[in-house]
Structure 1
């Protein structure tokens, strides 16, 4: 059969190019190994017996975030593990799967327009040559869910090519104890938008990604 007439191979994964100092924690397999790498990096060069309590505390907080992410049907969690300009980065990126009820056969462009019109501060954007929905909002504190401070959140909802009922949600959150509209929060939002310009679908026929593009997980 002529290759030009063959149906495109559906993607099996995606890739993101992250800023320096960010790490990926896969949530469905390989999680424990990724957590250990994050901890080893955080306490590199420090005497293990002197930082044992701090390491144990950080590990407990990481696993709590992982469990929360899994409850949200998360696929991957991305966290900053290094300082940026000398300060800790209060942010995270969660990639999860969403299924649209009754979305079978719906054109992705139509679905994106419907989703964008469902509430304010949503817009249709181009992502890897296809329509996606970007939403931005401020979330209020919710102590019952462990959120002590307000946060600025930005979500990108991306349809899986060839499977209109399946979408990926790439959700960014930054916590601002003082001001979620402050300079740091806005800078981090700009950084996340820049990261999303690198979003690409990958299929089995794609070449092996470079080391810089290794932040890749399945769309499943």
Structure 2
């Protein structure tokens, strides 16, 4: 394997066409939500009554704005949402992409070095789970160390989360930059129960999606 001397400039994921990518750092949540909803509803057959579509489109825009605002507060890079108009709009899942710097550790000589050992990374991430029952494992994605966490997050109506959710987080080391980590967080409410068959199927889908992950260099 060729040694990586510079960090990648981006990444690729083979997402289905009905998922949209929303850049979060542009800061135009209202404009972005309106554009995405308008493009989605433009594909609705013309014989569907407008008086039925308008309230639904406004609700979709509201949910999009909320999702974008949450991602902005988390300082995410982008968010992916499914926009399916074959029967209904499905916003029961999301993927949030961000990056983070994991704490360094002290070397024997007193210097600070980045944590890159899988066991150390796993311990750090487990400590951050605040004692909750999260499944944790490590492996590799496109040649980089990856730690996978999976668990259920409780409902939080105060933040707009009326249902409990199933979350899967991949924390992937960035080649050429051992202190920086790429985060991909998938969340779903399933069909209303984070442990139901739909949630299980969506988690399997996300794991398969992450198998398509590839770094890119300009």
- TM-score w.r.t. length of structure 1: 0.78
Q: Which residue is equivalent to 2:162?
A: 148
CA-CA distance at 1:179 after TM superposition: 2.3
CA-CA distance at 1:166 after TM superposition: 1.6
Structure 1: gaps spanning 5 or more residues: 205-220
- TM-score w.r.t. length of structure 2: 0.79
Q: Which residue is equivalent to 2:123?
A: 114
- Structure 1's consecutive aligned runs of 4 or more residues displaced over 6 angstroms after TM superposition are 84-87
> Structure 1 residues 65 and 40, CA, compared in 2 at 3 Å: closer, same or farther?
same
> Structure 1 residues 89 and 7, CA, compared in 2 at 3 Å: closer, same or farther?
closer
Q: Provide the secondary structure at the position in 2 that maps to 1:74.
A: coil
d(CA) in 2 for partners of 1:89, 1:188:
13
CA-CA distance at 1:9 after TM superposition: 2.9
d(CA) in 1 for partners of 2:23, 2:165:
23
> Structure 1 residues 117 and 63, CA, compared in 2 at 3 Å: closer, same or farther?
closer
Structure 2: gaps spanning 5 or more residues: 106-111
Whether contact under 8 Å (1:149, 1:176) holds in the other structure is: no
Whether contact under 8 Å (1:112, 1:131) holds in the other structure is: no
Matches within 5 A, 1:1-80: 8-29=5-26, 35=33, 36-45=35-44, 50=51, 51-80=53-82
